[in-house]
Amino acid sequence: MQKTIAFSSMKGYDGRLSYICRRWYQSEGGVHGYRSKVRKSFAVPEEVLQARNRHCNIYRWVEAYRSHGHNLAQVNPVNFASQYQSIPELDFNKYGLSEMQEVDVRGIISGVISQLVTVKELESILRTIYCGSVGAEINHIGSEHKKDWLKQKFECIRQKKLSKSERRDIAELLIKSQNWDNFLATKFPTVKRYGGEGAESMLAFFREILKLSAQGDITHIVLGMPHRGKLNLLTTMLNTRPSKIFRKFKGLPEFPTDAKAMCDIASHFHVTEDLNVDGKIIHFSMLHNPSHLEAVNPVSMGKTRSKQQSFRDGAFGDDESKDFSSSVLNLQLHGDAAFPGQGVNQECLFMAGTPHFDIGGTIHMIVNNQIGFTTPGDRGRSSQYCSDLAKSIDAPIFHVNVDDPEALTLITQLAFEYQREFRTDVFIDLNCFRRWGHNELDDPTFTNPALYEIIHHRKSVPDKYTAYLVLENEMTQDEVNKISKQHTDFLNNELNQLNSYEPENWYFKKQWSGMKQAGREITVWDTGLDYSLLGFIAVKSVAYPKNFTIHKHLEKTHVSGRIKKIAEGRIDWATAEAMAFGSLMYQGHNVRLSGEDVGRGTFSHRHAMLVDQKTNEIYIPLNSMEGGLGGKLEIANSILSEEAVLGFEYGMAIDNPYNLIIWESQFGDFFNGAQILFDTFISSGETKWMICNGLVVLLPHGYDGAASEHSSCRIERFLQMTDSSETQPDGDDINMQVINPTTPAQYFHSLRRQIVRNFRKPLIIVSPKVLLRLSDAISKPDDFRPGTFFLPVIGDSFANPSEVKKVILCSGKHYYNLNAERNARDLKNVAIIRVESLCPFPVHELNTELDKYKNAKNFIWSQEEHRNMGAWSFIKPRFENMLARKIKYSGRYAGATPAVGVGSWHQQEAQFVVTDPFDIK
């Protein structure tokens, strides 16, 4: 028999999911970065329930408007259809009601002054509320609390009226936005600007967000948005000098001359600015974004969470009443074609409420042009609305007509209040249009003539709104003209100052103070520590409370096994990692490890988090380590996503250089799902935007018979993404480091080096699978002592240099197979050199090693990977150009897939790649 559960007593239960179907996160007590949410108690008042039962037909009819009224809402500023379609569910006759029948609406609908109204009057009220310039989608939400809260607030919203000064403020913003676009069209007619024409009301959204944030506890806002209207926002509201934009449009760089940067286009610009809003300082951060649509969204979420960690927001602090987003707010703008079309949005939404990725909800606005590049919405998605993806996480959606910036302002108030109340996502779908097509130089009439016939014959959004205010005697036309003229004069003055404008050095400020761009030289950083401290950390990494029920197998192999190895001075891969994490924490740095199943580790080697076998509670041993400066380890087991999760981690890495941020791919080839992030952010963010990051990426790699998809992390692709030179030695200033370490100590030093240095570079670690437990792949205490550091090259300590005739160079796990073969053949005349750092390419260290072998005639690069893969094409030109020696290839043949899928073939190839370098003459 199944046990009966009292659902109402369950912590966090909101009535939607049965307890049987829901598995709670394994730490109701809380771990670093996560605290279980206690939902606010809610019950529909008894008198309301009675009213609904007493007037059930009226209630059903009102609910029909709440569910279907958005279909009749006047939200399209360029609507082809008739204003009122027939929706059978909204016909009061269907509910047995007559037009002049008086009904009691108490407890049924909010925002109605009279208690008794006729059905006809109620129909007018319902149409005004649900079928006006705002359409609301609320009834899909599973939580009755959220639904009732939203209905009450939304049904009362039109009772609010903006003041004269608020209306004038909005009008001024719209006028300036339009004026900015007109000015650019006149002065820079051949430049793509991705202006805000047809969407100017979005500035009313930002105005209201800033004012509400200043009135509340918000101190930081992080924004991710696409190109559309970005320059309007930057120059109109975010204090960006127009001269900076004009300078860029004239073909000049946006950074000072001492910056090592290739720069980017103006529509990718960012801002980090302290805004004075009604006497309160709000730090506003708009992120750089590439042209890959929506890719910036997870980055904005990661940066938001990093700031929340810095301010001890939510579960990062000790105040249990403080939720995430108490002081840092995330905003995201989307395109109408991109939001349903780009998979990263689904990933972001399903990540938004998960432990260790929660940021307390995002306020989203879709700038709905009703057309993609040239594709109308009905050919760009399968759903009714571009916002329908939001329903998957029960987010409320408000569709707003761009011609009504006052309605947008009121809805922004409601969205903000909802996010503050429930700390979850909310969407505004701003229905607008693009006056000039995708980029002002395009002709949209080629493909959408009927649509643009309407657009080109209607007033602009600012002109329409200011005309309304003039008619209402809120402004005069002379005042409108004066605002426009003064703004034009300001822009002309900024244009005249173009040549005298000096780009600002805004980077390496605040939390990045003390950092700098890397130099041309290669620097060496002492990353070693006293082994007594490291041994203490290693023991603490497997300690657990007395009342904790540990898994018996882990007690034997992981806990006891680690303590024994520490005593013997045989440090394996997982222990070295724990020592690196713990030592950085001891020195006050936070560490975050993110990815699929990272707590245990894909290969069941890490076990950085333990789970009580009786209570299901999580325990992270390193977070209970005594002493030190209080750094914390956050283990973020992620959703099954690469692009959004990696973007999130990149966002955390660019915010705070003193935290070690690591993303681990479950298997090395899984990075493919996040290629956009590698191409447009990680490898090029510094050279495009002067945004540095020290993100570490772990990519398990090795040909172990797993066939095509789980053998290779595609080393060749990462090497191709670097800006390493084939003819000149690399310096620290290469864009990205790629290493393939062979020992636990090398891994330890590479992690610590990321934080110890005074510059930040992304680090790609080709991480092992078989080496995690290989008895030969161990390090000794001396490898970690003070004065030790990461070795770009590990020379041969076995061969006699004077006897060596052949030098084999290799990288990573392959070394151990080659060494075993050499020992089996008892060869004394072959040296094996390990290239631990592929990029920067270690010219000096290799030259030092090769100079030992005066009699060597053959130099061979040996790899497991196919000839057109791996490091061969990267190694060959650098070796021959800078080390002045010819080098031969040994490895698999050129292939179309990383590995064969037949076991016997794999065994033959595995044998060949080990024996061939020794047989080459």
pLDDT digits (tens, 9 = 90+) for 238-295: 999 999 999 999 999 999 999 999 999 988 999 999 999 999 999 999 999 999 999 9
Beta strands in 640-757 (DSSP E): 660-664, 696-700, 737-739
Helix axes 872-883, 843-850, angle to 10 degrees: 70
Tokens of 363: 């306020």
For residue 38, the model assigns a pLDDT of 77
Higher-pLDDT residue of 194 and 85 is 194
Span 772-805, pLDDT tens digits: 999 999 999 999 999 999 999 999 999 999 999 9
- Whole-number Å distance between alpha carbons of 740 and 764: 9
Contacts of 646 (CB under 8 A, 6+ apart): 298, 663, 671, 674, 677, 678, 697
Percentage of the residues of the chain whose pLDDT score is greater than 70: 96
Residue 301 pLDDT exceeds 60: yes
Tokens of 380: 């760009």
The angle at the Cα of 525, spanning 520 to 529, to the nearest 5 degrees, equals 170
Tokens of 375: 């594709």
Residue type, 856: A
- Whole-number Å distance between alpha carbons of 812 and 865: 12
Quick one: the chain helix, strand, coil %, rounded to 5?
A: 40, 15, 45
Contacts of 161 (CB under 8 A, 6+ apart): none
Residue type, 707: A
- Whole-number Å distance between alpha carbons of 166 and 325: 27
Residue type, 359: I
- Whole-number Å distance between alpha carbons of 402 and 384: 19
Q: Is 14 exposed, middle or buried (0-12, 13-18, 19+ CB in 10 A)?
A: middle
Residue in 252, 261, 254 with CA at minimum distance from that of residue 234: 254
Average pLDDT of the residues in 187-212: 95
In whole angstroms, how far apart are CA 398 and each of 330, 391, 828?
18, 12, 76
Span 702-735, pLDDT tens digits: 999 988 999 999 999 999 999 999 999 999 999 9
Tokens of 141: 């939400």
Span 651-661, pLDDT tens digits: 999 999 999 99
Residue 380 per-residue DSSP state: T
Residue-by-residue DSSP string for 69-104: GGGG----TT--S-S----GGG-GGGGT--TT-EEE
- Whole-number Å distance between alpha carbons of 152 and 154: 6
Beta bridge partners of 595: 637, 664
Per-residue confidence band for 82, with pLDDT thresholds at 50, 70 and 90: low
Average pLDDT of the residues in 842-849: 98
Tokens of 854: 């005066």
- Whole-number Å distance between alpha carbons of 184 and 226: 19
φ, ψ for residue 221, nearest 5 deg: -125, 130
For residue 81, the model assigns a pLDDT of 62
Residue in 817, 850, 854 with CA at minimum distance from that of residue 833: 850
Per-residue confidence band for 159, with pLDDT thresholds at 50, 70 and 90: confident
Span 445-500, pLDDT tens digits: 899 999 989 999 999 999 999 999 999 999 999 999 999 999 999 999 999 999 89
- Whole-number Å distance between alpha carbons of 633 and 610: 13
Provide the sign of the torsion angle of the four alpha carbons 619, 623, 625, 626, taken in this order.
Answer: negative
In whole angstroms, how far apart are CA 686 and each of 234, 262, 752, 841, 890?
21, 9, 21, 20, 36
- Whole-number Å distance between alpha carbons of 136 and 400: 9
For residue 728, the model assigns a pLDDT of 97
Contacts of 566 (CB under 8 A, 6+ apart): 535, 538, 539, 575
Span 508-564, pLDDT tens digits: 999 999 999 999 999 999 999 999 999 999 999 999 999 999 999 999 999 999 999
With beta carbons less than 8 A apart as the criterion, state whether 668 and 766 touch.
yes
Tokens of 99: 């037009």
Helix axes 343-351, 296-310, angle to 10 degrees: 20
Residue 63 pLDDT exceeds 90: yes
- Where does residue 360 fall: left (phi above 0), alpha (psi -120 to 50 degrees), or beta otherwise? left
Tokens of 905: 């073939």
With beta carbons less than 8 A apart as the criterion, state whether 147 and 138 touch.
yes
Tokens of 528: 């070693």
Average pLDDT of the residues in 650-672: 97
How many Cβ atoms sit within 10 Å of the Cβ of residue 32?
19
Tokens of 832: 């094996």
Provide the sign of the torsion angle of the four alpha carbons 601, 605, 610, 616, taken in this order.
Answer: positive
For residue 2, the model assigns a pLDDT of 37
Site of tokens 């000790």: 318
How many Cβ atoms sit within 10 Å of the Cβ of residue 257?
7
Site of tokens 């290779």: 712
- Whole-number Å distance between alpha carbons of 600 and 319: 29
- Whole-number Å distance between alpha carbons of 703 and 870: 12
* 3-state secondary structure string across 420-469: HHHCCCEEEEEECCCCCCCCCCCCHHHCCHHHHHHHCCCCCHHHHHHHHH
Per-residue confidence band for 753, with pLDDT thresholds at 50, 70 and 90: very high
Residue 545 per-residue DSSP state: -
Tokens of 330: 């995330």
Beta bridge partners of 34: 31
For residue 16, the model assigns a pLDDT of 41
Residue in 71, 66, 73, 69 with CA at minimum distance from that of residue 148: 66
With beta carbons less than 8 A apart as the criterion, state whether 369 and 438 touch.
no
Strands 618-619 and 426-431: unpaired
Residue in 331, 220, 217 with CA at minimum distance from that of residue 275: 220
Residue 571 pLDDT exceeds 70: yes
Residue 4 pLDDT exceeds 50: no
Site of tokens 């993110």: 594
Per-residue confidence band for 442, with pLDDT thresholds at 50, 70 and 90: confident
Span 378-431, pLDDT tens digits: 888 999 999 999 999 999 999 999 999 999 999 999 999 999 999 999 999 999
Tokens of 888: 């031969």
Span 799-810, pLDDT tens digits: 999 999 999 999
- Whole-number Å distance between alpha carbons of 256 and 44: 61
pTM over 0.75: yes
